[in-house]
Amino acid sequence: MSSVTFRCTVWIPECTDGYHWDPQTQHCKDINECETITEACKGEMKCFNHYGGYLCLPRSASVIPAPEPPNQIRPGLDDTAREPYNPCPSGYEPQGDSCMDVDECARDEHDCQPSQECFNTEGSFTCQCPGGYRKVGTECIDIDECRYRYCQHRCVNVPGSFSCQCEPGFQLAGNNRSCIDVDECDMGAPCSQRCYNTYGTFLCRCEQGYELGSDGFACKDIDECSYSSYLCQYQCVNEPGKFSCICPEGYQLLGTRLCQDINECETGTHKCADGQTCVNIHGGHQCVDANRCQEPYVQVSDNRCVCPVAKAGCQDLPFSIVHRYMSITSERSVPSDIFQIQATSVYPGAYNTFRIRSGDDNGDFYIRQINNISAMLVLARAVNGPKEYVLDLEMVSVNPLMSYQTSSALRLTVNVGPYAF
């Protein structure tokens, strides 16, 4: 007796490309190729899954996802519900003896995504993406407008649109694409003094006498006095944005930097009493008695004293003394001629010699004879004041034929001022 063996096979329906059979739901389910395929997209492209396939798009692209479509109906199984026969072409329906277009958009019989807009056409319809997107397959992909260089400076892409931005120092023009310079000086730039607008920025500058600080905005005063000790002859005084020179008491400014002695005897600002004579010196003045003759001398005229021969004490003294005054500055270069002595009376056959009789204990001066009737007082050493010398400059006259000798003196008071001016 023969036996018969039966083999049962399970029939699995086939799905279209991009789908696989899901035994739980008994439907064809979309395959996510972005997960199942290694490196589905190369380089800088990004994988976007969609129903029945996938897309490789730039990483900056944005996709508006479509709603989940109904799962595919099991292949090989026909719908039990049958639609009535339509003799008209697809997209039309019979109306009397003619075919009329079906407005799929109005009847909501289209498959446009929620983000898309449906437009009815003759016999069909189209799905359009919103502004800033382009349609790839059934998806709406963001258009990267920045690739087209719509902006002058910087472009920022956003889903469905873009915006332009400007570099610092610029602002968007009315067309929202071009950049125009901003005048920071009119908008309160932090310059403390002067502001100059430049293309895309600004510069701070300072008034004369100021310099720009390290922050580039603030101006600080320049202390001109600290740069040089030769700006002023006496003393420099720094002031905001400038400097000024001052002089010591007894002096006045000559111009803006030099100092000049004030002659109190000429200006009448001295306080000499009656019977006194005003003598101007550097930085001040002196009041001296009109009669400066000392015993045994007697006054014979202004500034001249004579020692009478009849007096016993006059034998070893100069016959006459003439009083003179002069003032010199400190730090005078040496040797320096400062005073010329001139004989007023000359006797025939007399020989004259000149010498410093007294007053030069330190040897700061010497006499240089010029000829028989004149000589020069020379400053031999640099001296600093204030200081006063009283020099008796003597002229000795000798007449060998008459065996006669006499002398006269010039009493020179030399005042050395306290400064080199």
Which residue in the block uniquely carries the two structure tokens 């035994």? 23
Taking residue 369's Cβ as centre, other Cβ atoms within 10 Å add up to 15
The confidence score (pLDDT) of residue 5 equals: 44
The confidence score (pLDDT) of residue 48 equals: 83
* Nearby residues of 135 by Cβ (< 8 Å), 6 or more positions away: 116, 127, 128, 129, 141
The confidence score (pLDDT) of residue 6 equals: 41
> Which residues of the chain register pLDDT less than 50?
1-6, 8-9, 70-81
Q: Which residues pair with 48 in a beta bridge?
A: 55
Sign of CA dihedral 74, 78, 80, 81: positive
In this predicted model, what pLDDT tens digit does every residue of 259-316 receive, in sequence order? 999 999 999 999 999 989 999 999 999 999 989 999 999 999 989 999 998 888 898 8
The confidence score (pLDDT) of residue 73 equals: 45
The confidence score (pLDDT) of residue 276 equals: 92
The confidence score (pLDDT) of residue 74 equals: 46
Q: How far apart are alpha carbons 40 and 31 in whole angstroms?
A: 13
In this predicted model, what pLDDT tens digit does every residue of 22-58 receive, in sequence order? 887 777 888 888 888 888 888 778 888 877 788 888 7
Four-way CATH pick for 227-261: 1.25.40, 1.10.4160, 2.160.20, 2.10.25: 2.10.25
Say if strands 251-254 and 242-246 run parallel, antiparallel, or are unpaired. Answer: unpaired
- Tell me which fold the domain 184-221 belongs to: Laminin (2.10.25)
Structural domain spans, the chain: 20-50, 104-141, 145-181, 184-221, 227-261, 298-416
Four-way CATH pick for 104-141: 3.30.70, 2.10.25, 1.20.120, 1.10.287: 2.10.25
Residue 102 contacts residue 89 (beta carbons within 8 Å)? no
* Nearby residues of 254 by Cβ (< 8 Å), 6 or more positions away: 260
**Do the domains spanning 104-141 and 184-221 agree at the CATH topology level?**
yes
Angle at 164 between CA 158 and CA 168, to 5 degrees: 130
